[in-house]
Structure 1
Amino acid sequence: MSVPLSTVGGMEQRYATSDEGRDVLASLDALRALIQQTGSLADADLVDAVGTVEALGRMVDAARVRLAGEVDARSARDSEDRLSARFGCRNGVELLERTTRVSAKTINARVRLDKRTRPRVSLTGEELPARFPHVGQALRDGVLGADAAHEITSALARVEDRADPVEFDAAEATTVAYATGALEEQAGMIPPTFAEVEVHARTWAAYLDQDGPGPDAERAARNRGLTLGTPRDGVIPLRGSLLPEVAAGLQRLLDAHLNPAVRFTPTDPEDRDETEAWSQDEAVHDPRTNTQKRHDVLAVIIQTAAKATETPTLGGAAPTLVVTVAEEDLNNPTAAATIDDTPVPVSTAHRIACTGAVQKIIHDRTGRIVRLGTPERVFNAHQRRAITARDGGCVIPGCTIPAAWCEIHHVDEHANGGPTHTDNGVLVCWWHHHNLDRSGWDIRMRHGTPVIKAPPWIDRRGIYRPARNALTRLRGPSG
C-alpha cells in the first residue's frame, strides 16, 4: 500500500511504499520543527543546521535533476504513447511545469544537467558513459550541488569538442574533487566557495582550449543569441549577444534617429503669431533618457519591419500583434487589455491599434469574441503616401523623426467615430504617439491640415498653430 505525500505543494503524490513513506514524512516533520525553532537555536547549532539542510538539499536537487530528465526522456519518444501525451501535455517540460509549478527555465536547466550526466545509449543499443560521469556521480552522492554541477559542465562543455579526451576527463575529475572539498580535505585546507569553483572550472577550460579554439567568427556565431524574458513590472527583459555586423547595423539605425540635428537657439513660442507655423528652431525638451530613446527607436524598427512587403508571413498573413480587451473595459481608462498575455492599459491598446500590424479583438465576460478590429481603421498605403507628402515627418515641433519611421494617428479617435481619412490622420513618431495624452501636446485638424497646441509650460496662451508642413515648405514664402 502506498502512502499519500500530500504535504508538498498541496498535491497528493503516491510513489513510496509504506515504510519509505513514513521515513520521508518523518524527515518533513523534522524540517518543519527546525523551521519553527530556528530563532531559538544557539549560534553553533544554527551553523550546523545550515550545513545539514544544505546536504539534504543537494540530495533533493539530485533527485529533481534525475526525475526531470527521466520525464523528459520518456516524453521525447515520437509516439502517442509518450509520457507527456498520456497526461495531456505537449512535452515533458509542460508536464513538469504543471506538476512542480516551477518555471520552464528551471526545468530546462534540470533536464540539461541530467542529459549531461546520465549514461548514453548508442544507435546500436550499446550503453555509453555519460558526458560528465564524475559530475553525475558526485551529484547522485549528494556531495556536489546543482549550481556547481551546472557551472562545471557548462565551462567544460564549451571546449569538449576540441580537448584531448584524456585531459578532458582529468579536468572534470580534478574540478569535481576540488568542488566537493576532497582535495582540500587531503591537503588540510578550507573547502572552496562557489566563486572559487567557477574560477577553477574556467581555468581548466582555458587550459584545454590553449591549442587553438575555432576561428573567432566561428566562436562568435556559436555565441550569438537573443532572449525575451518573462514579464516583470510591466516590461519584458531583453538580453543577448549580437554579431558585430548586426550590432553595427542596429547602431547605425539608432544613430540616425538619436543624433540631434544642428539647431539654432530656440525662439520663445509666445513671440509667434497663431497663424505662424511651428518652426524647426523651436526645439522642445525631450524628457526621455538615452536608454528610453533607444527602446523607442527599436519599437519603430520592429513596426516598420512588420509592415514591410519582404517580411515573412505567419500562416499566410503579415506578422500581426493581437490585442484583446473586454467590451465593458473599452471606455474605462483604468482597465487593462492584453498583448500576448501581458497586461497593458486600455489606452495603450487604443493607440497601438492605429498601426497596420495590430488587430484588436473585443470579447465579452464569457470570452466570446463580439468584435474584431477591421482594416478600415488602418490607413492604407495611398493614404499614408498622401499624409507623408503633407506632413514630412512627426508633426510635433522639434521632433526630427522622418516620415518612414512615423505612425499615423487618428486625430479624432476611431473608437469615437473618427474617420480613417487623410483629413483625420497625422504623422507622429512612436514616442509622441504613445504619450500624446499625457505629454501636454494637443493636435486638431483645420481644413485638412494639423494645428498643434503646446503644453502650458512651453506656451501659456494655449493657442493652436499650424504644424510644420512639408508641402508649404517646398513651396517657400509667397511674394
Structure 2
Amino acid sequence: MGSIDVDGLTDAELVALTQMTEQVGRPADLARVTTATVVDYRARTGLGRDSLAWRLGASHHTDLLTRLTGASGQEMKRRVRLGEKIAPRMMGGTVLDPVFPTVAAALADGELGLDAAEEIVKGLADYKVHGRFDANPTDVDAAEAGLVESATGSVYGRSTDGDPITRLGDSDGFAYPADALRDMALQWQAALNPDGLAPNEEVLEAKSTFSFGGIRNGLYPLRGGVTPELKGIIQTLFNTYQSARTAPRFPSAEEQERIEAGELVPGEILDDRSGGEKRADILRGILTQIAQDPRTPTMGGMPPTVMVHVSAADLLAGIGVGWIDGVDAPLSMKTINQMVDNGGIRPVFFGGNGAVLALGNKARCFSPLQRRAITARDGGCIVPNCTSPAQWTELHHVIPWQNGGRTDIDNGVLLCWYHHHTIDTAGWNIRMVNGLPQVKAPHWLDPTGTWRRPNQHRAHDPNTRKPPNTE
C-alpha cells in the first residue's frame, strides 16, 4: 500500500483497491481474534500460578492482552467475546464444533467480516448461548446459515452428515452490509419465537428508561431506551409533523395571482435545520403544549414553570448569563431575553445582606386573554410556510420591551421557538400595520424587500385583506 498513489487512481481502480484491501485484511482480523481468545484462555485467573498473565507479570488476562497489543481493554474484550463463539470446543477430550460453526467457516474463508459476524452472533445469542427462548435447534442453525448467506452472498452447509461446514456455492440473493444484518436478525428472531415477547414483556418494559447525562459541549445527552411500541408512537409523531414541512406543495389560484402581483414570495422557506434539530423542536413543542394544558398536574399550586434567575443589571446591559433551578449549565442572555419576551419577569429585591426585601409584580408578560386574542388572529407562527401550530408558539414583542414596546395585542405576534430564537439573526423583520403583522423576508429570499401579510392571518376579510369592520 505504501507504494500506491491512492489519490492518483481512477474511480474503477479505487473501487477495486477498496474491495481488495478489505479481503486482504480479513484473515489478519480473524488471526487477531483467534490469538486474543487463546491468550485470554491461557491467562484466565483460575489457573493460579500457571496463568500466562501471572507468569508474565500482568494483573489479569485483559491487562496482559492490552500490554501485548497496545489496544484498549474494550477492544480486547470484544475480540474475545467473538472468539469464544467461533472457536472449537473441548468436552471430555472430544473436539466439538464452535457455537456458531457457519460463522466460523465463513470467517476462515475470508467471506465474512468481523462486524458482520458480531451482528449475527448478537442476534442469535439468546437462542444459541443463553437459552432464554425455546427454539428448535435445527431452525436456529438455519437462521445462522441464512444470515451468513445474506452477509456473504454464499451458501454454507454440510455436503453430508458429519462433514465440516464449507462453502457450497453462490447464493441467489444479494450480499448485504453488516448494518442491514441487525434488522434481518430481528426477523429471524420473530420466526424462531412465534409467541413473541409476551412472556417477557414485563421484564423488557421495566428496562424502558430515560435520563440525562452530564453536560458536554453545551448539551445534556439523553440516555435510556424505549420499547418498540413507544418508539412507534414517537417516530409516528415526528414523521407526521416533519412531513408537513417536506411534502410537495403547489400554490393555489389565489396564491398564484399574488405571486404574479409580487405580493407573495414563491417557493418554500429554506430550513437549514438537520433532521435531529427538527425532532428536538417538535419534542419541545409537544412538551410546551403539555405544560400549558390546564389539566397538567401542578407543583405547589403552580403549573410547570421554568424559573430563570438573572441579575437586573445583566438583563438591562444585555450581558452575562442566567440560571435555572436544578440545571447546572448557564443560559445565554439571548435565550433569557427570548424566555422573558414570552413569559415575563418578576423582580425580586434584595438587601445588602442578601435578604429578600420585596417581590415585585409580574411585568413584560402577555396575559392569557391577550394570548387567546393573538392566537385567534395569527393562527400559528407568522413566518411564511412555518407549520408550527399555535399551541407550540411563543409570544414575541414586535417592538422590544426594553425599547419601549408595550405588552399589547397590537405589539405581539406568535413565533415558534426556532423562529423566535433566530428572529434577530436570520434576517426576518416584523412590523404591525392596522393591528395586523407584516413580514419582510431576508434579502436573499426576497430581494425586493417587500412587506407582506402572512397567509395564516385569519381575522381579516380575504378580499380586502383588512381587519373586519374597518374602512
- The two structures have a TM-score, normalised by structure 2, of 0.54
How far apart are 1:355 and its partner, in Å?
3.6
- Aligned mate of 2:279, from 294, 299, 306: 294
Cα distance between partner residues in 2 of 1:225 and 1:310: 25
Cα distance between partner residues in 1 of 2:48 and 2:219: 46
Cα distance between partner residues in 2 of 1:471 and 1:457: 28
Aligned residue runs from structure 1 range 344-355, under 5 A:
344-355=331-342
Name the SS for the 1:252 alignment partner: helix
Cα distance between partner residues in 2 of 1:345 and 1:313: 28
- Aligned mate of 2:373, from 377, 386, 391: 386
Cα distance between partner residues in 2 of 1:478 and 1:451: 15
Checking the alignment, whether the CA contact within 8 Å between 1:353 and 1:360 is kept in structure 2 is no
Checking the alignment, whether the CA contact within 8 Å between 2:269 and 2:385 is kept in structure 1 is yes
Residues 1:423 and 2:404 aligned together: no
Residues 1:324 and 2:309 aligned together: yes
How far apart are 1:431 and its partner, in Å?
0.5
User: What is residue 44 of structure 1 aligned with on the other side?
Assistant: none
Checking the alignment, whether the CA contact within 8 Å between 2:346 and 2:362 is kept in structure 1 is no
* Runs (5+) with no aligned partner, structure 2: 1-39, 66-72, 86-98, 100-124, 135-196, 466-471
Cα distance between partner residues in 1 of 2:355 and 2:385: 45
Aligned residue runs from structure 1 range 12-411, under 5 A:
181-183=45-47, 186=50, 191-192=61-62, 193=65, 194-195=73-74, 197=77, 207=129, 210=132, 215-259=199-243, 260=245, 261-264=247-250, 272-273=261-262, 276=263, 278=264, 281-339=266-324, 340-356=327-343, 375=362, 377-411=364-398
User: What is residue 477 of structure 1 aligned with on the other side?
Assistant: 463
The code of the aligned residue for 1:297 comes to I
Distance 1:272 1:220, change over 3 A: farther
Checking the alignment, whether the CA contact within 8 Å between 1:395 and 1:428 is kept in structure 2 is yes
- The two structures have a TM-score, normalised by structure 1, of 0.53
Distance 1:342 1:366, change over 3 A: farther
Aligned residues: 298
Distance 1:427 1:389, change over 3 A: same
Name the SS for the 1:470 alignment partner: coil
* Runs (5+) with no aligned partner, structure 1: 1-175
The code of the aligned residue for 2:132 comes to Q
Checking the alignment, whether the CA contact within 8 Å between 1:452 and 1:464 is kept in structure 2 is yes
Distance 1:179 1:186, change over 3 A: closer
Cα distance between partner residues in 2 of 1:426 and 1:221: 43
Give the aligned CA root-mean-square deviation in angstroms: 3.9
The code of the aligned residue for 1:439 comes to A
Distance 1:391 1:372, change over 3 A: farther
Q: Deviations over 1:393-448 (max 9, x none)?
A: 11001212122222221212234342222211111111001111111101111111
Percent of residue pairs bearing the same amino acid type? 34
Q: Deviations over 1:338-368 (max 9, x none)?
A: 2334212112101112345x76666779866
Q: Deviations over 1:135-189 (max 9, x none)?
A: xxxxxxxxxxxxxxxxxxxxxxxxxxxxxxxxxxxxxxxxx99985444974758
Distance 1:395 1:309, change over 3 A: same
Cα distance between partner residues in 1 of 2:407 and 2:242: 31
How far apart are 1:476 and its partner, in Å?
3.5
The code of the aligned residue for 1:296 comes to D
User: What is residue 430 of structure 2 aligned with on the other side?
Assistant: 443
How far apart are 1:328 and its partner, in Å?
1.6
Higher relative contact order (CA 8 A, sep 6+): 1
How far apart are 1:325 and its partner, in Å?
1.1
Checking the alignment, whether the CA contact within 8 Å between 1:412 and 1:419 is kept in structure 2 is yes
User: What is residue 88 of structure 2 aligned with on the other side?
Assistant: none
Name the SS for the 1:253 alignment partner: helix
The code of the aligned residue for 1:218 comes to E
Distance 1:361 1:343, change over 3 A: farther
How far apart are 1:472 and its partner, in Å?
5.6
Cα distance between partner residues in 2 of 1:341 and 1:186: 52
Q: Deviations over 1:273-314 (max 9, x none)?
A: 4xx4x47x5421011111111111111122111111121211
The code of the aligned residue for 1:401 comes to S
Q: Deviations over 1:314-334 (max 9, x none)?
A: 122111101111222113344
How far apart are 1:234 and its partner, in Å?
1.9
